[in-house]
Each structure stands twice: as C-alpha cells, then as structure tokens.
Amino acid sequence: MIRRLILALLVLAATASPAAAHRLKLFATIEDGRIAGYAFFIGGGRPEGAAIIIRGADGQELYRGATDAEGRFAWTPPAAGTFVVTADSRDGHVAEVRLGAERFTPPPSPAPDQAAMPATDTAAIEAAVDRAVARQIRPLLETYDEAEGRLRFNDIMGGIGMIIGLAGAALWATSRRRKGADS
C-alpha cells in the first residue's frame, strides 16, 4: 500500500510540469545591442565569480566570463543574433536564458539633422522608442523573474501538509493491513 502510494506520488510528480524555476536563475536583457543581466539565487543572494558562457545559435562558444560581486555580467556581441546565456556556479547550479534575434533593436542611427529625410526620421524615432520601452519594462521583467522563483510561505505550508497527509495515509494503510492480519 505504501509502495502504491509512493508510486502514485512519483507518477504525479513525473507528469506534472514543475514551475520553470531553478535554484540559480539568470536575468538577461538586451539594451542597445548589449547583453547585460545578472544571476541570482531563489531565496536571495547573488553569485560572485560564477562562470557566464554565451553561445551562438549554432552552439559555438562566443564569450566566457565571470559575474562581479553583485552577480552582474555584460557583453556586446559583434552582431545581432540568437544567443544562449548560461550561468554556472561550478558546483552543479546551472541556469540558462535564450535571447532571440528579434529582441535586438536596430542600431541607433546618428542624430537626425534638420534636413534629414522623413524615412531616417522614422528609423530614429523607432530606435528611441525601442530604447525607452526597454528601459521602462526592465524593472517589470526583473520583478517577474523574481516573483516566479519566490519561496512562498503558502507553498511551504502546503508541502508540510502534504507530508502530514502522506504519513497519515501510511499509518492508515499499515493499521488496515494489521487489522486484516488479526481477523
């Protein structure tokens, strides 16, 4: 019976898709063609000196560095493209973020002079709007990433409740088996 319970738990665990959070998490954005961000641990703390590896779409390693005292890193790729940023604390904590080519804004054009054509004007405005939006939504993205991986008191209490429930079920199962053996 206990065996069946544990099996049921394992099946449940294997089929449910766990939250997309890991212990080590990585936040990365692209601003003005520069990849920047930081690694952080769920529950607090930024890794200092964790390895940061940036690979291109073909898996080729393009950059290898380490995070600073606040877990930050930055790298300017030679051209826009798809990049995969990996943070590795060198003891089994690994986090990965994929940045698609579509997240790169076109390079900022030189300041438009008075006699500029309307077309270059539009491009400049687009680039400025892109930068402004990126700056405005950055705190939002950061908060979202953090909230996704937060340890919630309710979840912890739920886990403890589940353990108590499992123990109760196991006790019930053994007492039933014993009663069956007695009679």
Partner 1 sequence: MAHIPDGVLSLPVTVAGWAGAVAMTGLALRHMKEEAIPGTAVLAAVFFTVSLVAVPVGPSSVHLLLSGLMGLMIGPATVLAVLVGLALQALMFGFGGFTTLGVNLVDIALPGVVVGALLAGPVRRTSPTRAGVIAGLGAGACVLATGGGVALALALSSPDYVPSAKVLLVTYLPLMAAEGLITGFAVSFLKRVKPDALAGASP
Residues of the shown chain interacting with partner 1 in the complex, contacts defined by CB under 8 A: 2-3, 6, 9-10, 13-14, 16, 18-24, 41-50, 66-67, 88-96, 149, 151, 155-156, 158-160, 162-164, 166-167, 170-171, 174-175, 178
Closer to partner 1 by Cβ: residue 18 or 180: 18
Nearest distance from residue 159's CB to partner 1, in Å? 4
* CB of 67 vs partner 1, minimal distance in Å: 7
Q: Which residues contact 89 (CB under 8 A, 6 or more apart)?
A: 24, 39, 47, 50, 51
CA 89, CA 107: separation in Å to the nearest integer?
Answer: 33
Sign of the Cα pseudo-torsion (77, 83, 87, 90, in order): negative
Least separation in angstroms between residue 172's CB and partner 1 is 10
Residue closer to partner 1 by CB (options 9, 125) is: 9
Give whichever of 78 and 92 is closer to partner 1, judged by the CB atom. 92
Residue with tokens 């940045």: 99
The residue to which tokens 């890991």 are assigned: 22
Q: For partner 1, which is the closer residue by CB, 24 or 30? A: 24
Those residues whose C-beta lies under 8 Å from the C-beta of residue 35, and which sit 6 or more positions away, are 28, 29, 54, 74, 75, 76, 77, 83, 85, 99
